[in-house]
Amino acid sequence: MSTNTESWGSRVGLVLAMAGNAVGFGNFLRFPVQAVQNGGGAFIIPYLISFLLLGLPLIMIEWSTGRFGGQFGHHSTPFIMDAMGKRRLWKYVGVFGIFSNIAIASYYCYIESWTMSYIYHSLMGTFNGMDQHEVAGFFTNYLDITTSTTGIPYEALVFFLLCLALNTWILSRGLSGGVESVAKIGVPMLIVFGLFLAYRGITLKAGTNGAVFDGTVGLNFLWTPDYSSLSNPKVWLAAAGQIFFTLSVGMGSIQCYASYINKRDDIALNAMSAGWMNEFVEVVLGSAIIIPISIGYLGVDKVVELSGIGGLGLGFRTMPFLFQQWGPILSAIAGMSFFGLLFFAGITSSLAMGTPGMGFLMDEFNWSRKNAALGFGVIILILGLPTILFFNQGVFDEYDYWGGTVSLVVFALLESILFSWVFGLKKGWREINMGADIKIPLVYRFIIKFITPIMLIVVFFGSLVRPVNDDWTGQKIGNWEFHNESIIGQLKHQGIGPNKLWFADAFYSENTGIVDSTFLLRKKYYISVSNKLADGSVSSQNYRYMPSKHTLSIKPGDEVGKGDILFTGKMINKVFYIDMARLLLMSLFVFIAVLVYIAWRKNHQPQKTP
């Protein structure tokens, strides 16, 4: 008998929790960067079309499958999918719905802990008087856990542990007492903070507080439509990818939340409300903060260049410096608002990531809620530590790529096929509309059955074979060059460069240029190799070495080519950490699959055998 007697406190609380699940860092950090990298206004139209044809159908599928599974007492995707499909295979597909949540939470809690730390530093005035380089350097220092910015040793680790303890404690209080209560405070608070910052962004005037351009210059860049982009596959793939991140579809957390809904209660209106609330936060608030403020101070070209370091870089390396231009009091308020909204966006999502695994343990192994929450905390601690300790070795990025990107697309594709073609759209449509307070347009029957799975197949294959430079027309089938970020490119370690061995006796330069210096920074030694580009700018890469273990093979002023030896001695290359991260993630998937098998043997096989 399952110990799981959870329920939602109120309908508004459920909608806010679902919206909080969807609203995350991506709304404020990833969306604007994706928009900038894909031509501003060129991105918006494919994005909105993807929301209507991919996002909304997947939301409906996940809400209805969750509620369907809940009728059989299942609150996690393995057995929700088992209840829908007759083949045993489906419950192992459902493993993705626990795996993704754990893998994502392992690095997501770390980002969440940065926001806690940055709220503290904004209020304490740590960034006051720092120039842009120093603010960016502060973030680099913070990620190096051996460096303390507050005097607290291992500060990044301490904030991570605090954040994880907070998540675990809230989860132990249950759905209505914990998750829902936080959503009822967090979602309105992040909207209030977002409105304040959006107002500041839109009304930014050139010449005041050091701004060079009006905030509307950024808005102009973002919203000027470019209809030629509609024929660019890169923009479509980016737009569809953003829809996955922003709606938290393909993860299994929506199904888990929906599984606590009675079969007679509405899901159609709830799903629409949560989905559109997320879009409000992303399209209205998310577009009006980072871009107008950063372009107002730095200009379009600089922001396009900075977007190359990603939304996290822009948010944590640049925004605190820009807020400083508003004076000490307003910058403290702005910093608290910005990192506060990120914190609330983060915690309402990370709590959602905890519930599927907890639901599984409570349903199938009769764990108490407190033990299940503690179990979640322990596993996130074990899996999260490598992302903190080996952040610079690429472990964090591996979790994000495989757990937070590829898994979502694969799971969403398979669940849409299961829903429309195995479970059957006739039954599926009845599930969506059962108890509905609104009428879903009939055209969605067609979209869910054909358009959404086709779009998902396109997105998956687009990610699998993404060509170098995103040049889809200039490639030949027999001589296809993969992008480093494509799934095949990643599997082939294409972006690794010449240091391909786990353990080596020599380190090879990963770029071509001139050794312009060897230097000591924060007690660490580096070699800098710089290259002057055709446009006059300089591209530099720093390589860390240890004088006690390594012997330099170069001296300042030497010209080096990619693959030339920089230093010799025993070393562990980045590829080792990357492969270990992949192995860890694979082990996690297999471990969950084994637990699913044990649970199935324990609880389900006797009933199914005549």
Partner 1 sequence: MNTSALILMITVQVSVTALAAWFFYRVLVAKPMAEPDSYSENDDVER
**Region of 8-16, 243-251, 322-330, 539-547 interacting with partner 1 (CB under 8 A):** 8-16
**Shortest distance, position 433 Cβ to partner 1, whole Å:** 15
What strands lie across the sheet with 513-521, from one edge to the other?
A: 538-545, 524-532, 513-521, 559-560
Return the number of other C-beta atoms located less than 10 Å from residue 86's C-beta.
Answer: 9
Judged by beta carbon, residue 266 or residue 363, the one nearer partner 1 is: 266
Closest CA to 415 of 241, 193, 250: 250
**Shortest distance, position 260 Cβ to partner 1, whole Å:** 7
Q: Is 566 helix (H, G, I), strand (E, B) or coil?
A: strand
Amino acid 245 reads F
Rounded CA separation 396/400 (Å): 6
Rounded CA separation 128/135 (Å): 10
Query: Using CB under 8 A as the criterion, what x/- string covers residues 430-459 for binding partner 1?
Result: -----x-xx---------------------
**225 makes contact with partner 1 (CB under 8 A):** yes
Query: Using CB under 8 A as the criterion, what x/- string covers residues 245-264 for binding partner 1?
Result: ---------------xxx-x
> Phi/psi at 74 (nearest 5 deg)?
-105, 135
**270 makes contact with partner 1 (CB under 8 A):** yes
Q: What is the number of alpha carbons within 13 Å of residue 327 lying toward its C-beta?
A: 4
**Shortest distance, position 30 Cβ to partner 1, whole Å:** 18
**Shortest distance, position 98 Cβ to partner 1, whole Å:** 23
Q: Is the separation of the CB atoms in 258 and 168 below 8 Å? A: no
> Phi/psi at 531 (nearest 5 deg)?
-140, 130
**Shortest distance, position 184 Cβ to partner 1, whole Å:** 11
Q: According to the 3-state scheme, what is the secondary structure of 149-166?
A: CCCCCCHHHHHHHHHHHH
**565 makes contact with partner 1 (CB under 8 A):** no
Q: Pick from 273, 355, 407, 486: which binds partner 1 (CB under 8 A)?
A: 273
Q: Write out the binding residues for partner 1, residues 11-30 only, by CB under 8 A.
A: 11-15
Rounded CA separation 265/255 (Å): 15
> Phi/psi at 240 (nearest 5 deg)?
-65, -40
Q: Pick from 53, 104, 204, 272: which binds partner 1 (CB under 8 A)?
A: 272
**Shortest distance, position 237 Cβ to partner 1, whole Å:** 21
Q: Pick from 2, 9, 147, 542: which binds partner 1 (CB under 8 A)?
A: 9
**Shortest distance, position 548 Cβ to partner 1, whole Å:** 58
CA-based max dimension of the chain: 80
**41 makes contact with partner 1 (CB under 8 A):** yes
**Shortest distance, position 430 Cβ to partner 1, whole Å:** 18
**400 makes contact with partner 1 (CB under 8 A):** no
Binding residues for partner 1, total number by CB under 8 A: 39
275: which residues sit within 8 A by CB, 6+ positions away?
22, 55, 56, 59, 247
Query: Using CB under 8 A as the criterion, what x/- string covers residues 146-185 for binding partner 1?
Result: ------------------------------x---------
Rounded CA separation 371/174 (Å): 12
**Shortest distance, position 514 Cβ to partner 1, whole Å:** 44
**265 makes contact with partner 1 (CB under 8 A):** yes
**Shortest distance, position 63 Cβ to partner 1, whole Å:** 12
Judged by beta carbon, residue 162 or residue 438, the one nearer partner 1 is: 438
Q: Is the separation of the CB atoms in 106 and 384 below 8 Å? A: yes
Q: Write out the binding residues for partner 1, residues 276-335 only, by CB under 8 A.
A: 276-277, 279-280, 283-284
Q: Write out the binding residues for partner 1, residues 185-224 only, by CB under 8 A.
A: 216, 219-220, 222-224
Q: Is the separation of the CB atoms in 297 and 289 below 8 Å? A: no
Residue keyed to tokens 């449509």? 429
**CA of residue 434 relative to chain centroid, distance:** 33
Q: Is the separation of the CB atoms in 394 and 577 below 8 Å? A: yes
**Shortest distance, position 451 Cβ to partner 1, whole Å:** 20
Rounded CA separation 534/340 (Å): 42
**71 makes contact with partner 1 (CB under 8 A):** no
Judged by beta carbon, residue 238 or residue 529, the one nearer partner 1 is: 238
Contact set with partner 1 (CB under 8 A)? 7-15, 41, 44, 48, 176, 216, 219-220, 222-225, 260-262, 264-266, 269-270, 272-273, 276-277, 279-280, 283-284, 435, 437-438
